[in-house]
Structure 1
Amino acid sequence: MSTEKSVIKGTPEPGPVPKDIIRLYSMRFCPYAQRTRLVLHAKGIKFDTINIHLKNKPEWFLEKNPLGMVPTLETPAGEVIYESAITCEYLDEAYPEKKLLPSTPYGQARQRMMLEHFSKVELHFYKIPMRRLKGEDVSGLEAELKVSLTKLDEYLVKKETKFFDGDTITMIDYMLWPFFERIEMGDLEPFLDNTPELKKWRAHMLEDPAVKATIHSVESHKAFLKGYAAEKPDYDYGLFLPQTMSSEKSFAAGSPAPGPVPKDQVRLYSMRFCPFAQRTRLVLHAKGIKFETINIHLKQKPDWFLEKNPDGLVPVIETPAGEVVNESVITSVFLDEVYPEKKLLPATPFGKAQQKMMLEHFSKITPQLFKISSARRKGDDVSGLEAELKEKFTSLNEYLVKRKTKFFGGDTITFIDYMMWPFFERLGMFEVQHCLDHTPELKKWTELMLEDPAVKATMHSTENHKTFYNNFLDGKPDFDYGL
């Protein structure tokens, strides 16, 4: 009974919570519900989700929680728990295998006091941008928020740790995170300029699998906030609805062929864990192109897909005119040319050739990643292969040092960055993150890429990548893993 689309008044009540899982009643853009989702992911708790339309709540939901708020948890025994901090502490106690709260009463009290202090300003992350939209003065709110952020920064300086209660993430980090994810939503990034330790904390948090599993793009947050401020919240913003024929679940042999591509958008045939298809998704998101997605079961491909692309590979782009374009680089170049509003490739022929040559060099690295993984799986020595990979990473690092730029094409993300990124996202999957230890500029590049909205919109957690990849190597790929 998991849902992405929000359920409304009149929707049938879901059945009992299945045994051995827990149910979360949520709303996709709610920072408080995200706290609970973070804890569920961090602790590896199996759960399903029912998203609630908070302006048109089902009667049966109000019976479970008369306050009508999310998050709300329901157990197979029918126990109902609500309010974000309470649900999170409940989960930490009920599932003790990976504790997030400290073990001592004082340690727990200290985290609760910090959360209580933060609660005084957490809604400023919303109040400031909403009042700006109305043209109201926000200087007082901004001053209060700056004071609070400075205190948090000073706390980290004093602790001398990566996170707020040590060098690993604990409950307090997850309780604070949802509001810091929304920094760009309110154009509040300058508030971090004088809080270097807090800025580092935020970068570390973006590396966390639970954060990656629950994150929304800046554009999605902004669009939802704008609708919410206008009293027209779109709780399903960003979801592809059935009439556009988008799918998350993969289409297999025997699936009906989709209809024509709707006017004013393109269709992407993809696979959720494919790094090559991710290249095309990155470009679509970065350029703000309206598109729908059909995910393909690559072991049981529908006949109608093979008619469009006899190679049977993804990504494939289809236009309303019936034009079909395949292969990751070709589709990405095609999109950059057809939608010229935000160009990703350089304007000059030589600039384009430079990026294409760099991509050609990079294409020698990607097989190396798979070789290392395959050899390690067989129990072979991978030190030689890793040494070769480190040499290649060193060359990329030297390129950035020589250019003195944040990204490979300048100080803003360009085409080449998006073509390379999907494989760097998977370094954890290949277990070669340590190969970046001696390439500081390349490491900085990966951190900057993690801040990019298109990257956030297309990202999977390392755990999800690993699970899919291991199943793939075992000959049992689950193309719908995690859905």
Structure 2
Amino acid sequence: MTPPLPRLYSFRRCPYAMRARMALLVSGVSFSLTEVSLKAKPPAMLAASPKGTVPVLIFPGGQVLDESLDIMRWALGQNDPENWLVDDREGSETHALIARNDGPFKHHLDRYKYATRYSDDGDAMSAAAHRAAAMEILVDLDTRLAGRLNLVAERPTLADIALFPFVRQFARHDPDWWASQPFAHLQQWLERHLSSPLFQIAIRKDASVDAP
């Protein structure tokens, strides 16, 4: 009898869920996928993680991981065939890049992309001002990529996989404007990750494929 698999609750377009799915897929860990409707979240997911955000990974024994980075690190701790965790330590470039992405960049991204949603939260900055603030971070990433193909090494690592789904979200909000920006290195980096076979599998609704 096949033992039960960990179940991942996910939403295909969520950047947090994207990076969790990619880590699970590259690790080869078997898991089952439940694609969530954000308007009708499954009771089992909410019982396991009352905060109601994806991704949530529930193990057969009841253990729950409901932070994307925890899921990534757990999966890669089982198997890290591409050595994504090479720079994942306290005080590393990887930690600094992810902290800035998940903190200031995500703050400005949300208020640029969803300006009307945040119009009543007392924020005096306009959507254009939030875009400009996010741009300062993107300029730094572009400069970093001038000297290498990826953020901390020539090959992809945890930092690249953790960040590029959010840069994708920024770029897709106004594609024509994005294409006109002087971000040649960053734009090429993003396109490489978007066209990777791993991402092409991860973006599918049936991304789990119960990997052997």
Both structures adopt the same fold (TM-score exceeding 0.5): yes
Partner of residue 145, structure 1: 134
1:103 deviation in Å?
A: 5.8
1:189 deviation in Å?
A: 5.0
Task: Identify the structure with bigger relative contact order (alpha carbons < 8 Å, sequence gap 6+).
Answer: 2
- Does 1:105 pair with 2:106? no
- Structure showing greater radius of gyration is 1
Aligned positions of 1:292-307 closer than 5 A: none
Q: 1:110 to 1:103 in 2, by over 3 A?
A: closer
Aligned partner letter, 2:190: R
Partner of residue 42, structure 1: 26
Q: 1:215 to 1:53 in 2, by over 3 A?
A: closer
Runs (5+) with no aligned partner, structure 1? 1-17, 217-238, 240-247, 249-460, 462-479
Asked if the contact 2:30/2:210 (under 8 Å) is kept, the reply is no
Aligned partner letter, 1:155: R
CA distance in 2, matches of 1:130, 1:105: 33
Q: What are the superposed Cα offsets for residues 359-388 of structure 1, whole Å, 9 maximum, x if unpaired?
A: xxxxxxxxxxxxxxxxxxxxxxxxxxxxxx
Partner of residue 211, structure 1: 199
Partner of residue 162, structure 1: 149
Q: What are the superposed Cα offsets for residues 289-327 of structure 1, whole Å, 9 maximum, x if unpaired?
A: xxxxxxxxxxxxxxxxxxxxxxxxxxxxxxxxxxxxxxx
Q: Percent identity?
A: 23
Q: 1:45 to 1:209 in 2, by over 3 A?
A: farther
- Counterpart among 173, 179, 188 of residue 160 in structure 2: 173
RMSD: 3.2
User: Secondary structure of 1:29's partner?
Assistant: coil
CA distance in 2, matches of 1:112, 1:189: 31
Q: What are the superposed Cα offsets for residues 9-65 of structure 1, whole Å, 9 maximum, x if unpaired?
A: xxxxxxxxx637432111222211111011112223222111233333333322211
CA distance in 1, matches of 2:178, 2:145: 16
1:162 deviation in Å?
A: 0.5
- Does 1:115 pair with 2:102? no
Aligned positions of 1:43-58 closer than 5 A: 43-58=27-42
Partner of residue 323, structure 1: none
User: Secondary structure of 2:144's partner?
Assistant: helix
CA distance in 2, matches of 1:180, 1:150: 12
Asked if the contact 1:162/1:204 (under 8 Å) is kept, the reply is no
Partner of residue 397, structure 1: none
Partner of residue 128, structure 1: 112
CA distance in 1, matches of 2:12, 2:191: 23
TM-score normalised by L of structure 2: 0.80
Partner of residue 65, structure 2: 81
1:99 deviation in Å?
A: 3.2
Aligned positions of 1:341-360 closer than 5 A: none
CA distance in 2, matches of 1:143, 1:150: 10
Q: 1:20 to 1:167 in 2, by over 3 A?
A: farther
Query: Number of residues paired by the alignment?
Result: 202
Aligned partner letter, 1:44: G
CA distance in 1, matches of 2:176, 2:157: 24
Asked if the contact 1:125/1:186 (under 8 Å) is kept, the reply is no
TM-score normalised by L of structure 1: 0.38
User: Secondary structure of 1:50's partner?
Assistant: strand
Asked if the contact 2:171/2:178 (under 8 Å) is kept, the reply is no
Asked if the contact 1:146/1:191 (under 8 Å) is kept, the reply is no
1:152 deviation in Å?
A: 0.8
Partner of residue 122, structure 2: none
Aligned positions of 1:192-231 closer than 5 A: 193-215=181-203
Q: What are the superposed Cα offsets for residues 183-231 of structure 1, whole Å, 9 maximum, x if unpaired?
A: 4431055346212211121122123222111337xxxxxxxxxxxxxxx
Aligned partner letter, 2:70: I
CA distance in 2, matches of 1:105, 1:130: 33
